[in-house]
Structure 1
């Protein structure tokens, strides 16, 4: 709730006086004019004041992470990391009686609390400010308190006065420690600063206070027009205002604040460690002390620390814990089984072949778990399955074969990857490979019309190749062999040419496939191909 300023009561009284005088003799005209003049003079003096006990019914202007909780707390950070939070008094205030006049005396009283969820960590705190604008869209977070940025920091044209309640030591802006109060003029670098605390009235001893100690405390900011003195005072919530201020500075705010009306309010920054900056109450007075805040009328802070547990909770908690442990054990078991199911063989030397290696999981899902309904054929070296890659929807043929080889596995995979670089319209593109336990998988482009042997030797022929198509197939395979033997950067000896390894694409063009037995040689060397190799076939 907010109490009405005295000027409103004065206006109400003036209206009553006007009504009374209207019914009196005209001899009272001079008295009326005198009284009216006094009223106008009082209104023009700028003796504004207000007080808030919580903010549920207030008309504060909020932006960024600033919100008002159900209990009436002004929460400037709201736990939303990376956002600036601002709260403004709804109307701008005139700190000067006239253009070019001096900034008048004013007083501010705030009850606030900074909550930190991780005691060993610290984050930037909050600030009270006076500024000529409510637009801080270009302000930066962290050390700039959501009010300034790298470019305008220290710029006298900003006309900003700020009291920082800082809970983070930032060496870049010359912070003295991670628990201090500072007076700032147009800058994130404090003109004056000191460690948070208060001086006792009896004896004058200094007592430290922890700003982010999850406790409510009071702050007073007072400015005196006559001696241009700024006083900042801090105290626990259950204690009156100490007679000695915590921090004092002499600075003429008439050289800082602009002639226009000024906005007053609070700013904070939401951080990843989830600090919460609360304002519980707020009062302000122009040319008079800020009204004292009755702490019994303030909203309550959230509870922290352990709370009493009910009997039901004592029963439910162990059951829930046991259920959670059982669930976690089941989850770990499922994850381990899944890893074993899709486990692959990987060695350090395969790092250079990364782009050519497929995951077993992708091949497993692409072929429906290598089920027989996806089987395209089988030969001496393994079975071939049709598949569709999950993300790209590219159709592939996967040859599943024994992991054993006459050559070392490194040399074999090296040649497989090298052959994968072949690009010719009459060769089936070898896309890559995968290794798992005792198996090796070679991945090819899928040829929709299958192999040549089913058109030449199948007992059940669904189609017959005419001589034009047969000649085109023969010519295509010959062109592909010429590319392998003469045109590519190395000599590739296929060593297993047969009708079942000649594949037909969607246009019935012949493509030579299955390079599982192929060998690579440099041009000019003797390939030594006198011994017989190959697989049984037609």
Structure 2
């Protein structure tokens, strides 16, 4: 019997291999060539415009155009990509295995504040038509804190950077980025008398990007165009930047081309006025070959299925009966404190078939939609997960188990789940007032968040953090506490969300080690984390201190102010000079309580102490906020960070939690 089965297997494998060879040999190179611009309303049919990007004034406004956008222009990111995707490489074709392309575009980067240029613009080869959440500021719309440096990014970009971040060579350069905002190669533009965003001037430049798929080389050229509507200047004789680059190692086989950009604390226009693109891409076989492929592949698979069905059917059935927990749905149903299983048809109806108008945001693992369960008169937020495997089924179930068991009035609550046709949906409470940062950083014509509301929010976040650190049985470390992860319900009560970076510590352990490096958001990351790569309850306290100052001052922690790179350094200076209350959000005027503001500012500094061992614990923080305990002594000068500090830290293993809830707004 087994000898006969082996013969059948060999025949089936031979059939499949032959089919495979026919398919790959049929691959052909095709040439796509197009010229775009000036841009108008019809351009929306060609481009995927990922808001807040727009098309206006004859240009692709990759970040909001102050003249036509309803969006805030500071600290935003956007993408505009061709809806058509291209097959850029063919692993087994007899033709050249890597596609080649040539592109050029006319761009303008204009600083709205004459003394400040912020971030910049990039040409990108992207894996999908999505914008990474949290990709504003230094991330240029390319990636975010969680995903930066990860090979799963699968993008290559040519950046035009007008701002010097801590990892940049200067504030005026061109660079080649590969799955990381830190460029693999850069060139100083000052050496070529080029300024991407000159003070008080509109400057127009043409950028050429040529990729040679045969030699695996990317070349970048740049030249100034003297007039916006003038003729394109000749392409320079030699590239300003060149690098060896095998796209197969860094981008998906099918990829999208276009632009991304971001702004920082100030607004900036990042515009593309014209775009020429020529791509030699691969094309799969035609209809006739496709028919034979299905016949041959199907025949081979049928043989294999029959053989293995006879030989292993009973054995497989026995294993299935013995281990029902291997099935994802069965495992979900067995979770402790079993969350509710929603019907897909009910969620589809609640979100109007996942209508675009109901989309609330885009999280790290999928889209989030607002929904209404009419029969229950309940609003919900539905996350449709886009990744079939989140760090493996075991880890996914572990993290979901933890989140499902978290119960606190200031934590976003998981209501249930749904599994349909291989797709997983998670259902959460809907937060009608969105995230805290949307109320702190508003336009000049809007009323600022009232002081008593700010104080209530801070108190709620402190209570939630105390629960995670001390009252939940596994002691969860959040690791990404910030204003954008603090949700607000209809009464502006704080609901701490986004457990995308959280970790649950085993009892008796105080920290978790990160193999992938430092995670979190700059400005909220404790200094010791850059050396240890570990998250602790003390690093959460540091982030809470950053949030405290952010709420009281109405400034982001990463704000450059009075010559200081971070908000905390400026506040510490005011404390030294006896002018601490000058840090209070000026938009409040005199509408705040002096004693409370002084208390929160000092508490914020105490939580931001460079020595982790000197930071207060959550129990003390709650008492300080309530006024039952005085603020600890805060030195007039910010202490220096000295390593090692705060004593030894445990490096034992932890349970991973990576479900994101920050976009349910």
TM-score band, normalised by shorter chain: 0.3 to 0.5
Higher helix share: 2
Larger Rg: 1
TM-score normalised by the chain length of structure 1: 0.42
